Each structure stands twice: as structure tokens, then as C-alpha cells.
Structure 1
Amino acid sequence: MNDFERAITYLNDPFNWTRRNGILDLLAEHVAVSAVAVAAAMVIALPIGAALGSARRGSGVVVVVSNVSRAIPTLALLTLFAVSPIGFGNRATAIALAVFAIPPILTNTFVGFRGVDAEVREAARAMGMSRGQVLRRVDVPLAAPLVLTGIRTATVQVVATATLAALVGGGGLGRLINLGFGQRDYGVMIAGAILVAALALLTELALVVLSWAVTPGQRRLPFRRVPRTDAAVGRPEPTASGIPL
């Protein structure tokens, strides 16, 4: 039996899922840490990106913050936190992952709100809308596709990177990978990697569906063809007598 077969056998054992600190417990902990990190990043990045994008200024600040945040390795932050009052565990991991998630959310929010046509805003104000109403009814719906793309990108990255929690005494599916590597049980390590990859793919799929559902405008399933009209295919339109022009 090779390592991949041992991984499948490990995943097919119900005891490995339901026991204490089993797969279900580690999965719940992994999702919780990831959700806290993404939520914290959204609380920080969304207001800043929306304010700077609506004002059409501060692009330099956004670029600097995004580049600096991307340049800091998550593992390096966890190492620094280990010798600070933050310490080890899931709290340190959530903070490091929040820093990791800020750049895509901030950048996409800024670009989305900056891309809203100024004439549309002026037309909304001319209709008597207040500044808050313009933000809710005009800016947010038009910027939503890019904002949701940034959130989706950050969430998938966080879910995949949260495995580092196991290196600093935290929980999550990374503990399976760490345990398998430490005991040279590569079947367990591959099983953990499969679970993390599957969770990242499911997260991507769920957020794509959510983006499709909340984005304003005409909705169409990706696999559904757009009906073609006679005018679109260049067919002559019939006259009242039924004879084409």
C-alpha cells in the first residue's frame, strides 16, 4: 500500500472524523480561525478602500499598504508574535492571517469604488439622494463585483495558509500535515493536504455562488447560452405583410 492509498484509508475511517481532536474538530477550528482573520481584514480594509476610492485619492497609500503587507511573510509574523505578548496559538495565527488578507480586499475595494462613474453619482444627487443614500444605492452595488472578488481571493488564500497555525501551537487541519511529517506517516500528511485543498476549493465555489447571487443586474448561469434575437444574427425583420424587407 502506497502513501496515497494510506491517505484514502485514513479518510475513509469514521473514527478519524468523529474522535476527539479528529478531522471534524480540526476542520471546525480551521474554519473558525480563517473566518476571524477574514472578518478582521474586512473591518479594516473595506472602510479605508471605500473612503479613498469614493474620494478618488490616496492611490499611493493603497499601493504602499498592499505592497508592504504582501512583502511580510506570514510565517515571519508568527515567529515575531511568538516572542511578543501575543504568543502562540490561534490568536497569533488569526492576526497574521488578517494582515495577509488585507491587501486584496483593500486594493479591490479601492478600485471598485474609484471606478464608479462620477456622472452617475451626480445624477443620483440631482434626484435628491443624500450622501449616505448615494453610497448605499449607487456606489456599493456598482463596486460590489470587484469588492467581492477581493474578499473571495483573500478568503481562499487565508484558508490555504491557515495550516501554518500548527507550527505555533494552533489548531486546524495543518495539525494533520504537521503530525504526519513529524512521524514520517506520509499517508496522514497527504490526507491533511487533501482536506485543505478540498476546503479551499469548496470555499472558492461557495463565494462564487454568493457573488453571483448578490451582484445586481441580470443574472445568467455560466453554462446557459444567451438567446439570440433575429436582429443579433442579422435576419431581416418581417413587415406588416409578412414579407421581409
Structure 2
Amino acid sequence: MIAHHGINYDTDINTRMEAKVMQELGLGGQIHYLESPRPVDVDLEQSRWKWLRDAGAVNPKLILGHFLHPTPDILDEASSAGLKMSWNPMSNGRLGSGIADISKYRKYKLPIGMGVDGEASSDRSDPFENMRMGLYSVRGKYEDSSVLTPQDIFHMHTLSAADVLGMADKVGSLEVGKLADIVLLNPPHMGHLGDPVSACVFSSGVKDIERVFIGGKEVWPRTPPLAKPTNNWQAWEF
């Protein structure tokens, strides 16, 4: 994966060089694009979309980080060319960058995966908090609670995120043949909600994580080693 320098700092030469490395090595690329809300930055980055296109970087291997302020033409071209988006709502709120118009992007069928950006810009790398931030901000933007569901947001943070990274055949869901990366949550903390996905999105946090498995191997137990593991939950029957 190529981490592009950034279209607002880059030169045309650098943009072409980064695109060439992607093409020759068969690598994906990720670029922070249209994150800043400052009009001068928005105008500059929108005008430099042509740089990405002319360099050959507008292709399915490029991930657009943030992508908050596209023109309709840029949005249409990005989705038509198979580009993907990494949505970072907690970071966007922390920095006052804006609210991604996820409902509109989905109408364009732009693939969207969610990420936490990083502790430098979102303080807590908590995917549960990130899901709530994204869900609440888009619902608030539209003043409509039906515009985005917990199921939508959960999918974006799991299987859709894996798809954006080109790893949906390995992770993102629990299926035969995949790597069995599993996070087990403590059900009592969300027992008041009947739908487990809604409960996960609305009520869970990193504090509720009890076990983490990577490739089917347990790598993080909350229960102290000498304590008897709580393995009689229905949620453990997988």
C-alpha cells in the first residue's frame, strides 16, 4: 500500500511518481483527499483531481481518506472508476473537518469502509465510538433516523472496510475459509436490546471486549489467567 504524500502538498511530478509505483508494483494507494473545510484548501484539492486522473491514479486500487467535500463530478467519476472511501467520522468531528454525506455517496454506489484514523486526530481508537459518531452525525445532518441504520454502519466497519482494503476474502466476516479474526463482547452490557447488531453499535465499547482471536488463536483475554473463563455464554457457541 502506497501512502500518498497528500494532494495539497504534492507536486504533479510526485503524484505521477506515486501512481507509477502503484501500477508497476501492483500496490494499492491511500490518499487524504478533501478533508480540510477551508475554502482555499477545498478549491485547491478539487482542482488537483485532474492530477490524479492524468497520472493514472483514478482506479480501483486508490482509497480516498476522508473525502468530505467532493463536487458532484468528482464523486461521480470516483464511484464510476471503482475508487473506495475510508470514512473517519470521529476524526472529522474532532478536527471540525465536516460531515461526510454518506447517504448521497451510497446513492452513487461508492464503496465505503470505516476507520478510526489515529489517536493523533481522534484521541480514542475505539471503533464502537466511531460507529456511533458516524451514525449520529449523518442522522443529525438529515434530521432523519432512518437515513442510516446500525446494520449499515456495522457493515461499513467490518466487511465493507475489509473490501476497501482488498481483504474481504480473508477478514471482515465469519465464514468458512477466512482467518477467524473474532472479537467477543460481554453480552450483559447490552442485554436490554434484542437485536445484537444494534446492541453492538449503540451500547458497546472497548471496555466490553472479553476475548480477541486472530486467525482463530486467542491473543487477548480480559479474564485473569487464574480465573475460571466465562465460556458458558450463548454468544460463545460458534
| Superposition TM-score tier, normalisation by shorter sequence | under 0.3
- The structure carrying a bigger helix percent of its residues is 1
TM-score by length of 1: 0.22
Query: Is the radius of gyration larger for structure 1 or structure 2?
Result: 1
Structure scoring higher RCO (CA < 8 A, sep ≥ 6) equals 1
TM-score by length of 2: 0.23
